Structure 1
Amino acid sequence: MHRDDFARRDPAQRSHQSLVFMLLYALAVAGGTMAYVPFLTILLPSRVAELAGAADVEWLGFLTFAGAIAASIGGIFFGWLSDVTRNRRGWILTGLVLTVALLLAMPLAKDIVSLLAIIICWQFSLNMMLGPLAAWGGDLVPDDQKGLLGGLLAFAPALGAWSGALVTLSVLVTFETRLLTLALLISCAVLPATVFARPRRFEDLTRPPSIGPDGRIDVLPKGPAVRMWLARFLVQISEAALFAYLYFWFRSIDPDMGDNEKAQLFGIAVSVAIPIALYLGRWSDRNRRPFLPLMVSSAISAAGMLAMALANSADFAKLAYLLFGIATTVFLALHAGQTLRILPRSDRRGRDLGIFNLTNTLPSLIMPLLTLSVVPGFGFEVLFLLLAGLTVVATLILATISRRNPDRT
């Protein structure tokens, strides 16, 4: 059955079922974000500073590099396994259990090498949860609500950031108590959708793969999907640099800024992005312009990065970061929703999203090399100018696909 015919057949039931699932699904995705945002932005750098001393920046780069390799492999592999087994829920729950267990095992590492080993295993388990979880949304949310789904996904980085502010409160003194609190938050967010939600599958979201003119099945994403991949990859290089080194950048500008203040500033940026992403996502659905909000938000992200490069005071730097953080959060949330629209094969959605997840992990491989080659000699200012240029290129790429109602090829 054609997807438009199916939508007209029972629009009220389709809309209600999708909305309930999207709310629980957005909470589960937020739980996945809680699993890594507070740890990688605040807790891990602080722990590395304790274990590595003066070599903390270099070791953080090595840990990020190794973790990104594990995440890249895990995202594709476990996404593909969830395709083959047709069991997203089971892989999500297994990944959740292992992720929480390894998170709680982090304090057992008393040196950098042990910490590295645990982080590699943790990244595999984390992507065992995140890969199938990403594909699950594509299985159950109609294309005409992908913009709204993207808007709801903006809650994920916000809740991830505020969980970072929570676990760094002064009452949670030790590394162990912070990790235990984080593990409880992750579980409470992921379990409702995976245990209690019983969404009904729509035939049009799981139709057989398309056959090309030569009689062969499309193997990999192409056309708009490739350009969407490139645009997100370029924006994610900038986001990854700030994600890993925001702690050290703010320390260089204002040495007296505490961990909790850093986490709160990040939280403000991603929280303000929520209503903006919701409005733009719903607007894109109604006007059938899925790519225009992506263009605008990436352009504003580039402007924010440029302002960060020119910042000459702590207050101006904070405002510039807020501009960058809000625009980038909006872009990434809406991009995640619209990516599900353009993937050609529903039976390999998990694998294809694992390939798209390389836009999250490959920048983490490039960023340490880029940062370590630029920052020691030229400072963060030159790095931010370079990253702003990459984001401008992403905006230009999106301009080539900003047309109405794109298909999947």
Structure 2
Amino acid sequence: MTTVDPEASALPAALAEPTARVRRGWIALLFSANLGVWMAFFTPIQILLPNQVADIAPGHKETALAWAMGFGALAAIIANPVAGAFSDRTTLTVGGRRFGRRHVWTVGGAVLGALSLLALSQQQTILGVTLAWVAAQACFNAMLAALTAALPDRVPVDQRGGVSGWAGIPQALGLVIGAVLVTTVFTGTISGYVAVAVAVLLLGLPFAFLTGDDPLPREHRPPFSWGVLLRGMWISPRRHPDFAWAWGTRFLVQVGNALGTLYLLYFLEDGVHYADPEGGLLILILLYTAGMMATAVYAGRLSDRSGRRKVFVIWSGVIMAVAALILAIWPVWTAAVVAAVLLGAGYGAYLAVDAALITQVLPAATSRGQDLGVINIANSAPQALGPFCAAWIVVYLGGYPTLYAATAVVTLLGSVLVRKIRSVP
């Protein structure tokens, strides 16, 4: 296949740096799509999978859950950058109509992911649960890759902090709405999975059907081979040091987040000895979400106006570390309530500003989807490592106080090291 260097000719809209500010309707539809995909991720992780695994293997639920979540996260690590790379090269034409690069992946990921959740609801063995969750993770990560690329594709730099805030809120709000659905409305495991599957379609598909998606001319399509694809997964830290530091700091913060949240239900049961752990988890999620919503958009907009990103990332990490230390020192219900608010506030600011920062260190417009997929490995890999590390810490290294102390250390380290990024103030 013959290609031309995009720099040698006028860039098409799909590759040009966006300059027109996106409107509220576009932001609302992106918010809705992210709400759907994060409901599909976190409602199973926090509620449905732990309950399903506990019913199947009550004697070793921690280890069984770690295997299911670990392999699911491994699928996410692979699927996200691969889907991003293919979306960078998508030039679909049907009946003479040219489609854009991203929306086909949003639609396909949502539909196939919903079917995977329906299959997951029927599983009666740990192996079946693991395989179905792997399929769901792969599909929803393909959807997430397309949605993540929408930010640098369509949003100008001086608006990205605020838009990132709106796109980040669904990470917590999706769990809240999902938790309400599966604990108060659809209380069975099967009905809970069905409700989440329907929600991801209703919330995710309108963004693909109602917003623009610039088509990529074939002459600007990057060359493809499996060798090229695999080599593209490695972005040289020597040639792109700021990208490498952005990846590394995101990885550390997400490791901390995984350590602190994956076993929260079991922490309430076995550490706090809360009488109604599922109800308590819902309360903590609501408080966490309130804290996140209070800071995400505001911090993102402040970083847009000031042009500075790193100072917001650092202070958000400090706040999250303090929240984790509270849980480590005082494993009681009142402390958990305070920690939930602080953790949400810190994580909301972090997600908004760090997402905007990352879009400013991407190596090339032709590979935005793939490069953001590589960044998303820093989100997914901790979901694979977190369950095993957390289980090992809880069982062998002192229980939940040690777990949350480790959470504080890793989170603080990840946020402080953002100072190593030079090209973004």
Query: Which TM bucket (shorter chain)?
Result: 0.7 to 0.9
* Aligned residues: CA RMSD: 2.6
Q: Which amino acid aligns with 1:359?
A: A
The range that moved more, 367-376 or 381-390, is: 367-376
CA distance in 2, matches of 1:158, 1:127: 17
CA distance in 2, matches of 1:26, 1:225: 26
8 Å Cα contact 1:162-1:264 kept in structure 2: no
Tell me the alpha carbon deviations over residues 140-197 of structure 1, each in whole angstroms, 9 at most, x when there is no partner. Answer: 1111111111211232123212222322333423212212222222222112211111
Distance apart, 1:404 and its partner CA: 7.8
Does residue 183 in structure 1 map to residue 197 in structure 2?
yes
CA distance in 2, matches of 1:58, 1:310: 25
Q: Which amino acid aligns with 1:23?
A: A
8 Å Cα contact 2:164-2:352 kept in structure 1: yes
Tell me the alpha carbon deviations over residues 48-88 of structure 1, each in whole angstroms, 9 at most, x when there is no partner. Answer: 00001111001011111111111101011111110111521
Distance apart, 1:317 and its partner CA: 2.3
CA distance in 2, matches of 1:121, 1:77: 15
Residue pairs, 1:113-132, within 5 angstroms: 113-132=127-146
> TM-score by structure 2 length?
0.84
Alpha-carbon distance change, 404 to 362 in structure 1, aligned in 2, over 3 angstroms: closer
> TM-score by structure 1 length?
0.87
Residue pairs, 1:16-27, within 5 angstroms: 17-27=22-32
Q: Which amino acid aligns with 2:364?
A: R
8 Å Cα contact 2:255-2:386 kept in structure 1: yes
Q: Which amino acid aligns with 1:249?
A: F
Does residue 43 in structure 1 map to residue 48 in structure 2?
yes
**What is the match of residue 244 of structure 1?**
262
In terms of fraction of residues, the more helix-rich structure is: 1
The range that moved more, 234-243 or 50-59, is: 234-243
| Local SS of the residue matching 2:187 | coil
Distance apart, 1:20 and its partner CA: 3.3
Show structure 1 runs of 5+ residues with no match: 209-216
8 Å Cα contact 1:150-1:337 kept in structure 2: yes
CA distance in 2, matches of 1:123, 1:57: 20
Q: Which amino acid aligns with 1:163?
A: I
Distance apart, 1:290 and its partner CA: 1.8
Residue pairs, 1:82-93, within 5 angstroms: 82-86=87-91, 87-93=101-107
CA distance in 1, matches of 2:127, 2:420: 46
The range that moved more, 70-79 or 150-159, is: 150-159
8 Å Cα contact 1:76-1:353 kept in structure 2: yes
**What is the match of residue 355 of structure 2?**
336
The range that moved more, 38-47 or 22-31, is: 22-31
Instruction: Report sequence identity in percent.
Output: 27
Does residue 314 in structure 1 map to residue 314 in structure 2?
no
Alpha-carbon distance change, 261 to 317 in structure 1, aligned in 2, over 3 angstroms: closer
The range that moved more, 313-322 or 124-133, is: 313-322
Does residue 379 in structure 1 map to residue 376 in structure 2?
no
Does residue 277 in structure 1 map to residue 283 in structure 2?
no
Residue pairs, 1:250-289, within 5 angstroms: 250-252=268-270, 253-289=272-308
Tell me the alpha carbon deviations over residues 99-146 of structure 1, each in whole angstroms, 9 at most, x when there is no partner. Answer: 111111112211111111111111111112111221122211111111
| Local SS of the residue matching 2:399 | helix
Distance apart, 1:396 and its partner CA: 2.2
Distance apart, 1:218 and its partner CA: 13
CA distance in 2, matches of 1:35, 1:262: 18
| Local SS of the residue matching 1:363 | helix
8 Å Cα contact 2:162-2:352 kept in structure 1: no
8 Å Cα contact 1:168-1:259 kept in structure 2: no
**What is the match of residue 226 of structure 2?**
none
Tell me the alpha carbon deviations over residues 200-221 of structure 1, each in whole angstroms, 9 at most, x when there is no partner. Answer: 699xxx9x9xxxxxxxx99837
8 Å Cα contact 2:317-2:416 kept in structure 1: no
**What is the match of residue 14 of structure 1?**
20
Distance apart, 1:391 and its partner CA: 1.7
Show structure 2 runs of 5+ residues with no match: 1-6, 8-12, 92-100, 223-231
**What is the match of residue 389 of structure 1?**
409
**What is the match of residue 223 of structure 1?**
241
CA distance in 2, matches of 1:218, 1:189: 30
Distance apart, 1:22 and its partner CA: 2.5
Q: Which amino acid aligns with 1:247?
A: L
